Amino acid sequence: MDFCVLTSGSVIAAGDACRTLLVFNDENAAGDKLDNAPTMNQYFGTKLPPMFSARAFGIHKAAIDNHPDRFEMLQKTFKQTFSDPGYKDAFLKSKGFWPYSNYGGVEECESFKSAMLELGERYKPLLTGK
């Protein structure tokens, strides 16, 4: 049997070519599209943070401090993207699973980043490649 660790959006797009065994999120929001698989935390009693396939932009704090109007414009246009019907159409055309397309602001990105750094630190001895 082949084994893969993939983003669940890729698995959904692959259809019957993959069978999902576990979901690394707080819930299996895709249900039968991911074989009604349990979450890692439900099945094993772990307390892992959700492991999204996330995209984010990093901006130096000095740029925000020196140009708050520009930073506000970036945040505003990012938010507007999610209400643009053209974005949703393009996302769905690419076989994306719409409930996975979510806006995350500064606080959400910071929370995700912190959770991933903490997870990496916790398992660092196992991630050395030795």
Predicted local confidence at residue 40, as pLDDT: 94
- Residue-wise pLDDT for 98-112, tens only, equals 988 988 889 988 998
- Residue-wise pLDDT for 66-83, tens only, equals 999 999 999 999 999 988
Residue 54 and residue 112 in contact, taking contact as beta carbons nearer than 8 Å:
yes
pTM: 0.73
- Residue-wise pLDDT for 9-47, tens only, equals 888 888 888 899 999 999 999 999 999 999 999 999 999
Query: Within 10 Å of residue 41's Cβ, how many Cβ atoms?
Result: 18
Q: What are the b/e assignments for 87-107, b being 16+ CB within 10 Å?
A: eeeeeeeeeebeebeeeeeee
Whether 1 shows a pLDDT value over 60: the answer reads: no
Predicted local confidence at residue 18, as pLDDT: 87
- If you write DSSP's letter for every residue of 14-33 in order, what string do you get? HGGG-----B-SSS-TTGGG
- Residue-wise pLDDT for 116-130, tens only, equals 999 999 989 988 776
CA-angle at 71, arms to 120 and 55, nearest 5°: 35
Whether 93 shows a pLDDT value over 70: the answer reads: yes
Domain boundaries defined on the chain: 1-53, 54-130
